[in-house]
Amino acid sequence: MVSLKRIQRDLVTANHILHFHSVLDAYGHISVRHPENAAVYLMSGDMAPATVSTADQLIQYRVNDSVAITLDAPRGYIERYIHGEVYKRFPDVHSVIHSHSEDVLPYAIAGVPLRAVYHTAGFVGYDPVPVYDIENSYNDTQPHDMLISTLALGADLAQTFVSPENAHATPQTVSPDTHLVLMRKHGFVTFGTDIREAVYKAVFAQSNAKVQTMAVLLKNAYSGLQDDNPRTWANGSDESSFEPLTRRQAKDTTAGMHAAGDRAWLLWTAEVESQPLYVNNVTVDTVEEAS
Ligand SMILES: [Zn+2]
């Protein structure tokens, strides 16, 4: 079993990596399930991810109600319910990330479907990434401030990870049906079976969105340059559309993702450890590391 210290050190490093790659800025967050107690998760207190550096800045919350397990815990993120409710709904999930990435945000606003467009982002999926619209969860008495600030809002968001055909299945699915959910006019949520997988998905979800946007812009610009351009490309696709991965390609590249993840984690860890902005003061016993 991975030790709590190891998890805490990796959680601090993950905060730094996600900031270094602009997945998180002053806002957004990552959490991880406690390695010895599945009913508890850890995430930093209310601070910018780049500045997280010590184990005592990591708050332990009960999955059941996202209340800190100690009375003297520092102030936490308002939107921790995103994390708690995804852990509650999906026992297989061990790390959750919420981001306001500006590369992904257009797909949470413009009504353009986000789909997997290249091989390291196959997990984004062949079907358009589902969009959670908080407006449908509000009642008139609540502030419409777009924040997942209650258990009920978190539960509605978590349910978006279940496909419509499984929504009323009994027993309920224990694993999400999609790796990514967009939050309309807000951001996105992804998860992992561990911290490394969650970080990989968050970074490449952002890259996939950037590449898809560039491909659509490039294709439309190229089409516009050709006066005698036929209205379809050689393969029959509409000239203004893009070509995502096929369903088979998305599925098979996702299956290969786990083998590739460690190389990315080791590179990204070395990057943040070389930057003076990022300080990780959580030490892991080397004897324990070797075991
Ligand atoms: Zn947010």
DSSP 200-238: HHHHHHHHHHHHHHHHHHHHHHHHHH-TT--SB-TTS-B
List, by residue number, the catalytic residues. 79
19 CA to middle of ligand 1, Å?
A: 15
Domain residues of the chain, as ranges? 4-290
Q: What is the pLDDT of residues 192-234, one digit of tens each?
A: 999 999 999 999 999 999 999 999 998 888 876 665 554 444 4
Give me the pLDDT at residue 226, please. Answer: 62
C-beta separation of 14 from 280 below 8 A: no
Contacts 24+ apart (CB under 8 A), 214-220: 215/117, 215/242, 216/112, 216/240, 216/242
Q: How many Å lie between the centroid of ligand 1 and the Cα of residue 24?
A: 10
What pLDDT, on a 0 to 100 scale, did the predictor assign at position 225?
A: 63
Q: Indicate the class that CATH gives domain 4-290.
A: alpha beta
CA of 121 to the centre of ligand 1 (A): 22
φ/ψ of 12, rounded to 5, equals -65, -45
The values of phi and psi at residue 208, to 5°, are -60, -45
Q: What is the dihedral of CA 25, 28, 134, 64, to 10 degrees?
A: -170
* CA 181 / ligand 1 centre spacing (Å): 13
Q: Give me the mean pLDDT over the 6-29 stretch.
A: 98
**How far is it, in rounded angstroms, from Cα 147 to Cα 225?**
43
pLDDT at 265: 95
**The token pair that represents 285 in the structure block:** 């016993």
